[in-house]
Amino acid sequence: MISVKNLSTGCLALIISTSAIFAEDTRKVAFRTLCLERVNDIGTVIIPGSGPESVQKVELYTDVSPVVEGVFANQEAAFYVEKGVGADGKPIRVLVGKAELGKSDRQLFLFTPGEKGEGKTPYNVRSFDDDTKSFPMGYVRVVNIAPVPVRFLLSGEVTPQIPPGKFAQFPHSKKVNDYNMYAVEVQFLSGNGQWVSGQSVSWKSTERLRDIVITSVDLRYKQPSVQAFSDLPPWMMPQVPPVKP
């Protein structure tokens, strides 16, 4: 069964001084990032630490990043860049995106271009529980950031539609060929109520990987876009025993 869920998105712009007090309500999380597109050449962000000069740098990858551990305040993952120095001689931090933390101690933060305009952050950040209980091996997680619903045809079987701003998870189809491959079509709902094909491909059904699929609409060309990322979580990789001397 496919479950459709809400996305956590941060959209408010904020400039703060490093003299801000680090909240006592903190939480340590092991996380990864996935940045679909660099905005304003921002490829590195920071997480404020417990002191004015304490920061943690986080690189934004256009694929799923390695695991990083960070401490966040007030159940919120907030990411900043530094913009010059304030009158007090301390760096000024500018919010570039934030999201409410999920329940898991493992999180995936999806960075996508934010809305343009004054008072908007460069990135929208969405958080997802990344542990294998929340997102099992052999499953597909679809995040629909398109302004229209999408649905999938898996070996000819139609999934429930996924509304804009929601995500869904489902296992790979069991109707496969001799190579464990099966046909997949991604459809977008058009303005006239017709389903339009955005992509037709073949997927491999496997329990060894997870797959992250992002559906969107390229606003420059008014075309559907489907981006897929195969995911083998590092903590699920086989452990190589140490070599005996």
pLDDT digits (tens, 9 = 90+) for 17-33: 433 444 458 899 999 99
Same domain for 86 and 189? no
Residue 50 phi, psi (nearest 5): -80, -15
Do residues 172 and 223 both lie within one domain? yes
74: left (phi over 0), alpha (psi -120 to 50) or beta: left
Domain final residue, candidates 111, 129, 147 = 129
Per-residue confidence (pLDDT) for residue 215, from 0 to 100: 98
Shared-domain flag, residues 87 and 108: yes
Percent of the chain scoring above 70 in pLDDT: 87
Position 10 confidence tier, pLDDT thresholds 50, 70, 90: very low
pLDDT score, position 127: 98
How confident is the model at residue 15, as a pLDDT? 43
In a domain, 168, yes or no: yes
Q: Is 30 exposed, middle or buried (0-12, 13-18, 19+ CB in 10 A)?
A: middle
User: Which uninterrupted H or E stretch holds 9?
Assistant: none
Residue 237: DSSP 8-state: S
How many structural domains are present in the chain?
2
pLDDT digits (tens, 9 = 90+) for 92-126: 899 999 999 999 999 999 999 998 888 899 999 99
**Domain end position, chosen among 97, 129, 161:** 129
User: Is residue 131 within a helix (H) or strand (E), and if so which, with residue range?
Assistant: none
53: left (phi over 0), alpha (psi -120 to 50) or beta: alpha
pTM for this prediction: 0.85
Q: Which of the four pLDDT bands, split at 50, 70 and 90, describes residue 176?
A: very high
The string of pLDDT tens digits covering residues 138-147 is: 999 999 999 9
Grade residue 52 by pLDDT with cuts at 50, 70 and 90: low
Residues 85 and 162 in one domain: no
Q: What is the pLDDT of residue 5?
A: 61
Q: Per the domain annotation, does 80 fall within a domain?
A: yes
Say if residue 149 is in the same domain as residue 80. no
Angle at 231 between CA 33 and CA 161, to 5 degrees: 90
DSSP-assigned states of every residue in 26-50? EEEEEEEEEESS-STT--EEEEE-S
Work out the mean pLDDT of the chain and round it to a whole number. Answer: 89
Residue 240 forms part of a structural domain: no
pLDDT of residue 51: 65
